[in-house]
Amino acid sequence: MDDGFSYDQALMEAERCLLCHEPPCSKGCPAKTDPGTFIRKFRMRNVTGAIRTIKENNILGGACGVLCPTCRLCEKECSATGIDKPIRIGKIQRFLIEHSWQVGFKTFDNPMSTDPGRQAEKIAIIGAGPAGLSCAAELAKSGYSVTIFEEREEAGGVLRYGVPSFRFSRSFLKNDLRDLEDLGVKIKCSSAIQKKGDVEKLLEQGFNAVFIGVGLWAPISLKKVPEDDSNIFSSVRFLETFRQEKFKELEKVCRGKIVAVIGGGSVAMDCARVALKLGAKDVNLIYRRSYSQMPAEPDEKIEALEEGIHFILLNQPTDYCRDSKGKLKGINLIRTRLAGADSKSGGSAAARGSGRRKPVEIPGSEWVMECDTAIEAIGNKAAADSGDWYPSVSVNSEMLVQADKETGQTNMEGIFAGGDIVRGPGTVVQAVADGKTAAKSIIGWLEKKRLKPAGYVSSRKEKKV
C-alpha cells in the first residue's frame, strides 16, 4: 500500500484549506465525517480533537480516508477548487488516523454511556462489513449491548475479503476493530445467520432489534460456470482467496499465464492488478463500452494502465472457449460500437439503464481471445436464498432488502437494514452512513418503546415502507 502523508505534508495540505463557513465538503460526505471540522481542528493544532471528530463520526474513518472516491464526494464540493485544486481531504483524514496510532491516542477509552436501561437492551447485527460495524459502533456509543454475527472467519466484510492488500492494509481494519472492542461490541465470527427464519428467531431469543448488513456476495456470471472450475473465477472467489493469502493457489493460475478479466469497474481493476502482481504474463481487461464509460475511478484506471494491464475495449464476451479436455483456452468476443444513451429512468430497476451510451454488437466481428485464466468481475448480487434468512422482510426481485433509505427501517418492526444489501453495489462510506442512520432509528424506536411498553412488544406489526 502506498505511503500516506507525513505530518509536514498533511499540514501543508491543511494550510490550503479555506476553513469555509458551513463547509461544503462536510455536506459532500454521506457518513457526515465532517472534514470541515476536522481540518479546522488540525489547523488550530487541536490534533487529538481532529482525530476524535473523525472517529466519533465515522468508526471506519481510516478506511474511508484510503478508499473513498473523494473526487465524487467531499473533494468535489471543495471551495478551494475555485482557486486551485481541491484539498486532498481523504489523504488528510488517513494521515490523522495513522497519526493517532503513532501517538497512541484513543477516542474511545471507556464505555460512553452507563445507562442501565440501554445496557439491558440487546441488538443483533448480521454481517461485520462497514454497514454492520458502523451501526454497532453507533449503538455501543449510546450504551446498548451489541452483538455482531459474521459468517466469515474474520470481521470486515469487503474490507477484509475483497479490497486487495496493496490498496488497503490490514492495519487499518485491525485498529478499527480494536476501537469497536473498546466500545464493548461483541463480534461472533464463523456465525452465519443463514437458516430459514434465523433473523426473526433472534428477536424471539431476546434481541430487541436486528440490523441486516450482509452485503452482496453472490457473483453475477457470464455463463453458468461450475463453482469449482479451476480456471474461471468469480471476482469474489479470486479476491477472497487472495485476501486469505492462499497465494500458491492463485499463482498456479496466474504466473506466466494470460489472464482475462471481464468487467470495467473497481472490482475488475482490483482483480486485474492482483493477477499482474501474482506474475501473469499478460492481463487483458475486457469491457464492452469504451474507456470513459468504465465505472472504475479515474485514478484506478490510470494506475492499472501504467502497471501494464491491457484494456480490450468495445468487446462483448459471449462464451468461453475450451480445449478437448474442457480446459479453458480462450474467450469468444464480439466487437461492439456505442449507440445512443440508454435511459436512466422508467421501468423496473433491472431494466433501468445507467444513462451511458449503449454497446451494440457488430455482426460478423466475432473473434477468440486466447487466455489461460478468466476472472469475471461483472458484479455481485444477493445470495439467491437470502430471502429465507429473514422471510418476514420484503425483498425485491434482485433480493435486495426493501428498507427506507432515510431510516433503515424495513417493513418489519424491529428489523433494520443498510449497506449494499439495500442499495446494491455501493461504497464503504455509504455503508457507514447507512449503519449510522439505522442505529439512530433503532435508538429512537427503542426509546419510544420504553416510554410506552405495553402492547408494543407483543404484536410485531408490519410497517409501510
Partner 1 sequence: MSKKVDLSVNYCGVQFLNPFMLSSSPVSNCAEMVARSFETGWAGVSYKTLVTDKIPIFHPSPRMHGYNYGDKRLVGLQNVEQTTDRGLKPNLRDITWLKKKYPKHIVMASIMGFCNQDWADLSKAVSDAGADLIELNFSCPHMTVEGSGAKVGQVHDLVQKFTETARSVTRVPLVAKMTPNISDINEPAMAAKRGGAKGLSAINTVAGLSEVGLDDFVPRPNVFGKGAISGYSGPAVKPVGLRCVAQMAQNKEHGLPISGMGGIETWVDALEYLLVGATTVQVTTGIIHYGYRIVEDMIEGLSDYMASKKITRVKDLVGKALPRLHETGDFDVKRQGIAKYDFDKCVGCGQCYIVCRDAGGSALEWDNGARRPIHDKDKCLSCMVCSFVCPVSGLINFKEMPKTWKRKETLTLG
Ligand X SMILES: Cc1cc2nc3c(=O)[nH]c(=O)nc-3n(C[C@H](O)[C@H](O)[C@H](O)COP(=O)(O)OP(=O)(O)OC[C@H]3O[C@@H](n4cnc5c(N)ncnc54)[C@H](O)[C@@H]3O)c2cc1C
Residues that bind partner 1 (CB under 8 A): 6-8, 19, 40-41, 44-46, 48-49, 52, 56
417 lines the binding site for ligand X (CB under 6 A): no
3-state secondary structure of 200: helix
- Among ligand X, partner 1, none, residue 48 binds (CB under 5-8 Å by kind): partner 1
- Among ligand X, partner 1, none, residue 200 binds (CB under 5-8 Å by kind): none
Work out how close the CB of 6 gets to ligand X at its nearest, in angstroms, rounded to a whole number.
23
- Among ligand X, partner 1, none, residue 86 binds (CB under 5-8 Å by kind): none
- Among partner 1, ligand X, none, residue 175 binds (CB under 5-8 Å by kind): none
71 lines the binding site for ligand X (CB under 6 A): no
Among residue numbers 175 through 204, which ones bind ligand X (CB under 6 A)?
192-194
What is the rounded CA–CA span in Å between residue 443 and residue 126? 17
Q: What is the DSSP string of 250-261?
A: HHHHHTTSEEEE
Q: Which stretch binds ligand X (CB under 6 A): 19-27, 277-285, 313-321, 414-422?
A: 414-422
Reported as half-sphere exposure (CB side, CA atoms, 13 A), residue 224 has a value of: 0
- Among ligand X, partner 1, none, residue 40 binds (CB under 5-8 Å by kind): partner 1
Closer Cβ to partner 1, 91 or 381, answer by number: 91
What is the rounded CA–CA span in Å between residue 96 and residue 65? 9
Backbone angles phi, psi at 264, to 5 degrees: -130, 15
What is the rounded CA–CA span in Å between residue 384 and residue 390? 13
What is the rounded CA–CA span in Å between residue 50 and residue 19? 14
239 lines the binding site for ligand X (CB under 6 A): yes
# of chain residues touching ligand X (CB under 6 A): 37
Cβ pair 153, 192 in contact under 8 A: no
269 lines the binding site for ligand X (CB under 6 A): no
Closer Cβ to partner 1, 19 or 368, answer by number: 19
What is the rounded CA–CA span in Å between residue 439 and residue 451? 18
Closer Cβ to ligand X, 409 or 427, answer by number: 427
Q: Which stretch binds ligand X (CB under 6 A): 170-178, 200-208, 213-221, 390-398?
A: 213-221
Residue 388 cell numbers, joined: 429465507
Query: For residue 257, which of 292, 290, 221, 281 has the smallest C-alpha distance?
Result: 281
Give the residue, chosen from 157, 295, 317, 359, that forms a contact with ligand X under the rule CB under 6 A: 157
Residues contacting 212, CB < 8 A, separation 6+: 126, 127, 199, 390, 393, 401, 410, 415, 416, 417, 418, 421
Query: What residues make contact with ligand X under the rule CB under 6 A?
Result: 67-68, 126-132, 149-152, 157-158, 162-163, 192-194, 213-215, 217, 239, 266-267, 270, 389, 419-421, 426-429, 431
